[in-house]
Structure formats: C-alpha cells, structure tokens
Structure 1
Amino acid sequence: MGSKIDDSQLMGMVAELFPALDRQKHKGEAGRVGVIGGSEVYTGAPFFSAITTMRVGCDQTHVFCAKDAAIPIKSYSPDLIVHPTLDGKNAEKDVSELYERLNVLIVGPGLGRTDSTMQITERLIGKAKEKELPIVVDADGLWLINQKPDVIKGYSKAILTPNVMEAKRLWKAMEFPEDSWTPNGENVKKLSQAMGNVAIVVKGSTDTISDGINSLESGAEFGLKRCGGQGDIMTGALGTFLIWANQAKKDGKNQLIQALGPLCCAAYAASILTRRCSKLAFEDLGRSMIASDMLAKIPAVVKELQNCKK
C-alpha cells in the first residue's frame, strides 16, 4: 500500500478476521486444519501446532504422523484426530484422500528429516498444490524446501515461517550471497520474490512478513524466555487465521485484507497472538515459563484481539 499503515488499523483488521458465532452454524464452518508432522522423537511440536489451531477457533484438526508418534499425541488431547499413517506403505493415498475435508495444511512440526519422510512430504505437498489447498510450511518442512525450493516455489497459496537462521539457509538456496543476509524488510521481500512470491514470515525480535509485494512488521512485546514450542504455536495460529483471512477476502471484508492479501494478514495476526501469549505467560512465570503455559493464555488473548475495536 502506498501510505503507512498504523497499528490501530492493523489491530482492527485482526479483530475482523474472527468469524461471527451463532447458533445456526455447524461443525466445520470455522475451519478444518491438517497438520503433517510428528515422529518417534518429536511429538510435542505437532501437538502444540494442532491444539493451537483449535484454541484460536477452528472446529476440527487432523494430525498425520508417524505410527510411533500417534499414541503420545492422542494422549496429549482427545480433541485432535490423529492418523498414524505418515510412515505407512500407503501414506500418500491415506493422507491426501482427506484433503477434501481440509481448508488449510500445516507441514513440518516434528516431522523429522529421514529420506523417506522427506520423499513422502514432497509428494503430499504436490497433492495439496493440485487441490489448491493453502499450505503453511515450518520446521522440518523448511528443511525440505531448503533442499528442493521448487517443491513450493511459485505457489501463491503458501507461506513459509522460518526463524532467522532458517531464513538465512533459504537465502543461500536462492543463490544470494550468504554474507548479505540480514532479516530486514527489504531482504525478506527479495527472498519472497526469489521464491516466486511465496509469502514468508521471518521470526525474530521483530517478525518480518512479505509476499514479495506487500510487507509488514510485527514488533509487539513478548516474553524473554525463548522456550521450545513457541514457533509451533505461531504456526498453528497462522493456520486458523489463514482460513478466516481467505474467507474474509472472498467476502470483501476489510480494506486492509483486500489490499494486503490473506497471507500477510493472517501472519500478522498469528504473530501478535503468539507474542501476546508469550508476554502474559512470562509475566506470570518468568524463566520457568514453558510453551504449555502459553497455550493456557490463548483464550484470553483471543478474547482481547477479537474485541480490540470495541
């Protein structure tokens, strides 16, 4: 956009992302998410991502994980639908046949980096692109993109969520000089353009967002404890907000959503929510804070964000 956007406009946009609740709606109208992730070693990451999608407000979330990850993830919450199919012989069919039910796909939390996992993930991303399913890529999903950028390059419904070091690896993969990388708005925009205008949010002391055309920064205060799992929480929030932002774009709702596009708007909303949860949890617990404590803050932050215009 030509003129500078102030924080009050952005927060008003975030408030308008939340769909109205009424007694006439049925299960699924607030969104269905799929999370591809979870391995024998990493079961917390897909849980944090998946449960956040529901705490923010989507109706149903499926987790597609390795067999050895399924029972731990199921035990964390009965609210998630867990499919122990990712390392099975028919993984591509078993996962992709459920794409028709989903509004967005999150790829990467706790995925692991074995060759077989990377191969099936590449094929599952391809199937999602065929269905024009919006895709959020994080964590080990970014490792795949770093090795094979063409897997996602040019797909306008995708958003990548690297931290500063992961973004530096992508920068190098796009053949920019490695020593020229700094996580500023100009470079994130260049990186997005090099990826074929795939949207990117680089997480750091300030979260920097760009789809190669529009750019935003989210610098809201956050807690000082940098515990594991915070990125997974942001990824889950982004999944739900992206469903709502896409619907708001179709509805012609809010000029900022029309101008900036659903990917940038959803990323900004997810960043604000995650930072606010981190701040509140840190205020309570200080250095003892863990990611689970942030989950407990999501309901209050959701209420605050959706009412911020009132």
Structure 2
Amino acid sequence: MSTELIIAIIITIAGAATPILLAALGELVVEKSGVLNLGVEGMMLIGAVITVAVTLTTGNHLLAVVCAALAASLSSLIFGVLTLTLSANQVATGLALTILGTGFSALFGQPYTGKDVPLLRSPFPPELATDPIWRVLFGYSPLVYFALIMVVVVWWFLQKTRAGLILRAVGENDLSAHSIGYPVIGIRYLAVAFGGAMAGIAGSCFPLFLTPQWVERLTTGRGWIALALVVFAAWRPFRLLAGAYFFGLMMIFEIYAKTNSAFRVLPSEFWAALPYLATVLVLVLISLRREGSTAAPACLGKPFVATG
C-alpha cells in the first residue's frame, strides 16, 4: 500500500468522523444536564440545508456555519420549550424534532437540489497540503480542527470548571441542585441550545467538504450514530473522539469497496450498512451490562418539576 493511499485514507477517515464527533459532543453536554434529545438527525439536516443556502447566496463559509449553528440551536429550543417548560415526553419530542428537521430541509432545500457548493479548504497555505507527509497535518477542513479542539474544550468545561460541575450536578440530582439555588431549567436550556448549535455545525460539514451539494437526507443517519456514540463512549469526550474515528474508519469501507478488489468479496451494500450494524451491536452490548454499571446521568430523560 503506497504512502499516498495511506494518507488519503487517514484524511477520509477524519472527514467522515468529524460530523459524528461534533454532534456527539453537543449531545454529550445535553445528556450531562439530564436531558435526552433524540432530534440530533433533524438538527443536522437543518444545519446542512442552511449552510447550502447561505453559502450559495453569499459565498461566505464562516457566515454559513454560524447561520447553521443558530438555525439548529433555535430548532433545539422548540424541543426545550416542549420538554423543559411544558414537561412533554423527551423521547417523543426528540423524534418529532427529527421529523420536523427532515421535512423542513426537504422543502427549504428544493431550490438548491443538485447545485454544487464551494468547498471549505484548509486554512493553511496550499504549499503545505501538496506534500504527502505535511498533508496529514495541514490538509483538512477547518471544521476538522474545530472538532478536535472542542473535544478538549468540552472535557475541560465538564471536569475543570465550576459551571461544568453545576451542569453535572443538575444531571445527577436536579432536586438537590434546585434546593441549593441553581436554576435547573435555565441550565438545561443552555445545554440544549449548545447541543443544537453543535448539531448544526455537524450538519454543515456535509455540504462544505463531504458531499458538496444539497440532496434530501444528506446526513444519511449520522445523527443516530452520534446518539449511540455518546452511550458507547460512556459520556466521556476523549472516548467520543476514539469512537467517532472508529465509525469513520468503517464508513470509508463503502468507498474503497467500489474501487479496490480486496473489498469486493462482500457487496458494497454490506459495507454501507456496516456502521449502522455496528451501532446496533454496540447498543445491544451496552444493554447487557449490569444495572448501575453505566455512567449515565441519574436524571437523564426525567422531567424536572420544582417542589418549592
């Protein structure tokens, strides 16, 4: 196997893993606050279609990513109002958010279907990306570097800051946190908004450097993988990083199955389904763990009702 091919595989894995990692980091913070939002796929689709629209209209990639984050964050606040203020069922509301995002993106994206989107190139000088060795370090989209930085930021926030400690306290025992004066609902709103913004940025990865055009259901179920990855990683940011790149590795098998005879022993459809089969397997293995052996926040998915 040539050096150029190895480097191309590494870069492809990083690109495939980035949207999963970004969405999973946002969902990790949401779940650490005690909220379960299953609408990640819908928010990613909203972020993707807004990115396409803004990029094709203005040509400004940064503005497109910011608008994607804002749009997905606003959609997550719909979930927040229903579940946090009105105490609606979080599972049903999250699924409804996914349906909303899927339908909205299909309708809003109709004028942009099939149109090419300018790629978001590496922020480093092009000369660095031409050399095969330097390309491993400097040949990625800015969103790849952003995702890696956010792993450290989320870990530091949760483990080393007072605000992170409060967030975790709200997720572990909301009544105790409320009794000592912390605004449980307000903290959860902020977590939900952050999770939505991260899902929107994750969605923007697809048109900006993975699939540079708009088609319906562009995210192809990556949001569901991100949800499973949070559980798989036991709510730990650095495990998320490893898990995201593991799923990114499996996703490139489909690509190389079409061009490399070594992968043609099995049909390409099998390689395409492999990441989702692995997701199901991971969830089955996790469900077989003894009760209490997981690191799930104690209040995850439970509505909060203040007693006084």
TM-score (norm 2): 0.29
Q: Which structure: greater helix fraction?
A: 2
Larger RCO (alpha carbons 8 Å, 6+ apart):
2
Which has the larger Rg?
Answer: 2
TM-score (norm 1): 0.29
Q: Which structure: greater strand fraction?
A: 1
